[in-house]
Amino acid sequence: MLIKTKGIVLRTVKYSETSLICDVYTEKLGLQTYIISGVRKKNAKIGASLLQVMSLLDIVAYHRENKEMHRTKEIKPAYVYSEIPFQLQKSAVGVFIAELLQKTVKEAPPNSALFEFIWNTYMYLDLTKDSVANLHLIFMVQLAEYLGFMPGGTYEKEKSYFDLKEGIFTVEEPLHTYSLSHHQSDLLQKLSDLPITESHNIQLTRYNRQKLLNRLIEFYQYHIDDFQTLNSHEIFKAVF
């Protein structure tokens, strides 16, 4: 059966001398694996550059239920980035988001809302003229909602601690060390409420940004099986 869908490349692996295996999060089919032959030949119709991580594609694919890998009939760029590949900060954020998705979106069924969230984030990242220094933090907090462990409750003066283990705001500071301070809990609420397009309106020092990122990684480690850490977050120490 032929399926036409949009897709976002999350991972590529070389296969044989001329082919690639690509993990693609699609609008209509969820996470799919495609084997794409001949893309690394000299005169290939579909170049390997089209299939880089983060690429936004229009795909026509042969789909069979219960198969782990599928073949494509046609692949075209749905959007060509004009800034992400050439601006270091935008590239760093894009790579971070891609790695986060690789480690969290596994065997995912179709989810049009999640697909639109990811697609629109990459589009905004490429097009915006505002700072993207906080964009990865908002994405990380709001992705948790789609993954089913969105922070519970709301930050209030009476509930000003966020328990990373339980995923809720609490009245008293948890006895364990895996919780956010008053300031970090307040930031978490703001990141949860703001749209991606408003990420530049939050003022954070580099130290506080890195500190909150480290705690959010801990949050994911408690709620995602086999989630170890993110290698790309080290880039932020130098880039931002």
Residue 179 banded pLDDT, cuts 50, 70, 90: confident
- Residue 41 scores a pLDDT above 80: no
Q: What pTM was estimated for this model as a whole?
A: 0.89
Instruction: Report the candidate in 236, 228, 39, 234 with the shortest Cα–Cα distance to residue 135.
Output: 236
- What DSSP character marks residue 52? S
Could you give the CA distance from residue 54 to residue 114 in angstroms, rounded to a whole number?
A: 15
| pLDDT grade for 81, boundaries at 50, 70 and 90 | very high
Of 157 and 146, more confident:
146
Place 156 in a pLDDT band, splitting at 50, 70 and 90.
low
pLDDT at 118: 97
Q: Round to whole Å and give the CA distance between 207 and 229.
A: 19
Of 18, 46, 47, 19, nearest in space to 33 by CA: 19
Mean pLDDT of the chain: 86
33 touches 123 (CB < 8 A):
no
Looking at residue 152, the DSSP 8-state letter turns out to be B
Name the one residue in this structure whose structure tokens are 């179709």: 110
